[in-house]
Amino acid sequence: MSSTTKKITTIEPASRFSHFDLQELWSYRELAVMMMLRDIKVRYKQTILGVAWAVIQPLTTMLIFTLIFGRLAKIPSDGLPYPIFVFSGLLAWNFFSSALAAGGTSLLSAGGMISKVYFPRIIVPLASIGVSIVDYLVAVLILFSMMIYYQIAPTLQLLWMPVFLFGLAMTAVGFCSWLSAVTVTYRDFRFVIPFMVQIWMYVTPVIYPVSFIPEAWRWVIYLNPILGWVQGIRSSFLGLPIDWLAIAISFSLTIIIMVIGLRFFEKAEHRFADVI
Amino acid sequence: MNQIEDNIAVSVRDLSKEYMLGGVEQHYDSFRDLLLGMASAPFRRKEILSGKKKENLFLALDGINIDIPEGQSTGIIGRNGAGKSTLLKVLSKITKPTSGKVKMRGRVASLLEVGSGFHPELSGRENIFMNASILGMTRQEVLRKMDDIVAFAEVEKFLDTPVKRYSSGMYVRLAFSVAAHVDPDILLVDEVLAVGDAKFQQRCIGKLGEAGQQGRTVVFVSHNMGLIQELCSHTIYLKDGKVESYGETSSILPQYFRDGVENTGVWIQKDESACLRAVRVVDADNNNVLSIGYDQQCRVQIDIRPNRADKDFVIATRLVDELGRDILTSWDTDTLVRTTEIGRLYRVECEMPRGLLRPGRYFILIMIRNSNHGYLDQIEETTLELEVSNLGFTMNNGRFGVVLPTLKWDVSEL
């Protein structure tokens, strides 16, 4: 046995300048995938309706919104049929909100594991996005069926969709890493998340178009970091003009949110096992 | 000091771990409390960190220095709160030390619990993959060892059944089996063996023993001195976060047993909430004694105030000799049907027959256990030292054995 070739592990106190060990993170990629698959399998096994649930939920929301906002409140929809307008927005929004809800409490749910096993903690909020991605893909199939019904042909712009979705996912990762770390220390923070998410939907142009907001107040709407992504996803599906200003703002804000969120997580992660 | 010496597997230098008590974790009952709490949290933390509230700091580990050579099986023992679990958590990288440094050579696997990441909805096979990747095994490795894992756990027929339909025994067997097939250079084990049925425990012990023989370094935390003795050539005795002693198991165990003993003849529990209140040894005339003659009868008196329902716990008296060898254990359920109520004080007595124990020094351990799963609840504690004197001892040298019962003999013509 050549003991000199063996890997040396060093354990030291947490330094103020600790950073993610990217090499180590890479070596744990299988675990991240396993956790993601586990969440997805559990999600679709546990409910009686299984995948049907991922269909029923957004469809029902779409119908209710169409009835209330489209028919009763007569909110404009940029010349598109309201159902497809609202659904293409809901698709992106549901992805973001379910990622926030799952990611924000992900560390708490993994509490038992965190206090008993070591692995890079950031895997937990990262893997929690998996379920939202699958739900999103199911919703995309519904959207395509609706496009066939309303006879809207996809354009080459559709190629932008994965890019914008990635941007949206990164915004979610930034927020989740911060939220999940905060909820570990302040348990009750998890009650704030649904509240926050609810308000957030109404300030995002999901059920109404940006043109619905008076010109003078439009800049406020643009401060929303997910505006560009949500609009971009809708535009790329339905072939609407892409608002590149909104994309540029969302891109910048997403970078800032990710840096702050991940940095916060880095500094907090060594405490998790002690307080969870 | 930065370099780890050859043939040392684990090197621990000046390791300390501080915990904040009641500092960060607070519970909020209402939304208003939450906001108030959040607003004041930075100040509270600052107060603690600036040392204004030094009494809130608790040193779980205090300047630990240990070198464990490669291939050595090492036990870690100590009373509750001595820092055993904290040390294991630091070695497992679960929690960071406050100061000091640890170096380890080779692949490390730690088993602080069995079945990490298990999900009841997933099948046995899926859980094997999940748990194995948590323990650091690659997919390839799991595929290669799948048959062994399944065979060891004896769950072949149920491999594709969700584990929520498993019996608790099957669940534990599967979980342990995965853990037992990780192939590390250094294996860190907490009291996970205190699970499962006796037969399976025995096989787990065998598996661990094998690990030690294969030149693997094993670090094993346990309250079970018998296991420590069986598996570990060396033992570290922790006391109040410091290394009290470290050496060959045969020399550390007696010290550990002697250490807990109070020579007043009565052991009294300080922790008000604990079930076990006091222990003493009395002779036939109800006098509290430290020493008893070989041919005298004595009784161990155990005062308890149950903190759980009757059927949930069992009490045992365990006798260990000076070398740390188990001499006997007797459970109250052997002959007693107990009806005790939560919160009341009771005295349970256990009679030691005369003429059984060889003259010498013994330690009395009282164990209170959860009777359902065999999980240790209240940990075994050394309570008293009992001397069996030569008084009335008339045996000749030819009588071998640890105990000296006089057995019933008979003869009949055929």
pLDDT tens digits, A168-217: 999 999 999 999 998 887 877 778 888 889 899 988 989 899 888 888 88
Kindly indicate the confidence band of residue A92, based on its pLDDT and cuts at 50, 70 and 90.
Answer: very high
Smallest Cα distance from A100 to chain B, Å = 21
What local confidence, expressed as pLDDT, does residue A19 receive?
A: 74
Distance from C-alpha of B303 to C-alpha of B280, rounded to nearest angstrom: 9
| B93 to A112: CB separation less than 8 angstroms, yes or no | no
* Closest residue of chain A to B23, computed from CA coordinates: A275
Q: Quick check: helix, strand or coil at residue A48?
A: coil
| A273 to B185: CB separation less than 8 angstroms, yes or no | no
Kindly indicate the confidence band of residue A36, based on its pLDDT and cuts at 50, 70 and 90.
Answer: very high
Say which range, A57-71, A143-157, A262-276, B187-201, has the weakest mean pLDDT.
Answer: B187-201
Which of A10, A11, A41, A192 to mutate: most B Cβ within 10 Å? A11
A185 found inside a domain: yes
Residues 86-115 of B with CB under 8 A from A: 89-108, 110, 112-113
Kindly indicate the confidence band of residue B52, based on its pLDDT and cuts at 50, 70 and 90.
Answer: very low
The reply to whether B125 touches chain A by the CB within 8 Å rule is no
A19 found inside a domain: no
CB A204 within 8 A of CB A93: yes
pLDDT tens digits, B172-187: 888 888 888 888 889 8
Candidates A185, A267, A18; CA nearest to B44 is A185
Candidates B176, B152, B161, B154; CA nearest to B120 is B161
Query: Backbone phi, then psi, for B321, in 5-degree steps?
Result: -90, 180
The token duo for B284 is 């036939």
A182 burial (CB, 10 Å; 0-12 / 13-18 / 19+) is buried
Kindly indicate the confidence band of residue A3, based on its pLDDT and cuts at 50, 70 and 90.
Answer: very low
Q: Which of A3, A7, A42 sits opposite B119 (nearest CB)?
A: A42
**What percent of chain A is modeled with pLDDT above 70?**
95
What is the CB-side half-sphere exposure of residue B5 using CA atoms within 13 A? Answer: 11
| B119 to A270: CB separation less than 8 angstroms, yes or no | no
The reply to whether B336 touches chain A by the CB within 8 Å rule is no
Match 């609009």 to its residue by tokens. A231
Q: Quick check: helix, strand or coil at residue B99?
A: strand
Every domain of chain B and the residues it spans: 65-251, 260-389
Distance from C-alpha of B375 to C-alpha of A185, rounded to nearest angstrom: 30
**What percent of chain B is modeled with pLDDT above 90?**
24
B272 versus B109: which is more confidently predicted? B109
CB pairs under 8 A between A and B: 123
Q: Is the pLDDT of residue B49 over 70?
A: no
B381 versus A130: which is more confidently predicted? A130
Owning domain of residue A78: 52-275
How many domains, in total, are found in chain A? 1
Match 């200003």 to its residue by tokens. A245
Cα distances (Å, whole numbers) of residue A265 to A20, A22, A103: 10, 14, 13
Distance from C-alpha of B329 to C-alpha of B319, rounded to nearest angstrom: 6
Q: What angle do CA B218, B224, B228 make, to 5 degrees?
A: 35
Mean pLDDT of A118-138: 92
Residues of B whose CB is below 8 A from A10: 101-103
Residue type present at position B39:
A
| A113 to B104: CB separation less than 8 angstroms, yes or no | no
Q: Which of B34, B93, B130 sits opposite A34 (nearest CB)?
A: B130
A18 found inside a domain: no
**What percent of chain A is modeled with pLDDT above 90?**
50
Query: Residue B158, by phi and psi: left (phi above 0), alpha (psi -120 to 50) or beta?
Result: alpha
- With b for 16 or more beta-carbon neighbours within 10 A and e for fewer, the B141-162 pattern comes to ebeebbeebbebbebeebbeeb
The token duo for B123 is 């099948």
pLDDT tens digits, A215-260: 888 888 899 999 999 999 999 999 999 999 999 999 999 999 999 9
CATH of domain B65-251: 3.40.50.300
pLDDT tens digits, B293-337: 888 889 999 998 887 776 778 888 988 887 778 889 898 888 888
Q: Which of B4, B38, B94 sits opposite A115 (nearest CB)?
A: B94
What local confidence, expressed as pLDDT, does residue B267 receive?
A: 81
What local confidence, expressed as pLDDT, does residue B101 receive?
A: 93
Residue type present at position B169:
G
Match 């893909």 to its residue by tokens. A137
Instruction: Give the DSSP letter of residue B403.
Output: B
The reply to whether B264 touches chain A by the CB within 8 Å rule is no
What local confidence, expressed as pLDDT, does residue A53 receive?
A: 78
User: What mean pLDDT value characterizes chain A?
Assistant: 89
Going by CATH, does the domain composed of B260-389 fall within 2.70.50.60?
yes
Q: Is the pLDDT of residue A271 over 90?
A: no
